[in-house]
Amino acid sequence: MRKSGDLTLVCAIAVTLVALSTAAVYAQTKQIKGESAKPANTFKGDDLYRQFCAVCHGPDGKGNGPAASALKVRAADLTQLSRQNNAKFPALHVKNILTGVDAVAAHGNIEMPTWGDTFKSISANETFGGMRIDALVEYLQKIQR
């Protein structure tokens, strides 16, 4: 009977160790995979949003994108910008955030990419970068609730 009890104890310890090692693997923090910007031949705000913003802010702009759970600070609900600004869309402030002129405290060490330089770098014509930012700001204004 003693051998049976020892075997049960050894099995219980082994199962516990396997469970703990499995839990440690799943407990690791989520990582966001960095990607280089791909050429964006579009000047349509909705296309730019889907390509560059939806991964964090979600396809509907509510802050529920596939990478949102890996962020330290919840991604902003971009459909509420006007509501949070006395029913007036803060276009200049949004543009300044996108270009990196205005810092957002919740972004810490600029966790959210600034797209001004990125948009300029994906085209030989730097003016196109500003046009893309303007199109994105206009799109964000359209999705306000």
24 domain residue, yes or no: no
40 domain residue, yes or no: no
123 domain residue, yes or no: yes
62 domain residue, yes or no: yes
Q: Which residue has the higher pLDDT, 4 or 51?
A: 51
Q: Which residue has the higher pLDDT, 109 or 140?
A: 140
127 domain residue, yes or no: yes
Distance, in Å, from the CA atom of 42 to the CA atom of 34, rounded to the nearest integer, reads 22
Its pTM stands at 0.68
Q: What angle do CA 36, 50, 101 make, to 5 degrees?
A: 65
19 domain residue, yes or no: no
Range of the domain at 118: 45-142
Give the pLDDT band of residue 112 (cuts 50, 70, 90).
Answer: low
Give the pLDDT band of residue 108 (cuts 50, 70, 90).
Answer: low
Nearest by Cα to 131 from 15, 45, 37: 45
What number is the average pLDDT over the span 90-119?
76
Nearest by Cα to 139 from 63, 53, 36: 53
Q: Which of these ranges, 8-17, 64-73, 122-131, has the smallest mean pLDDT?
A: 8-17
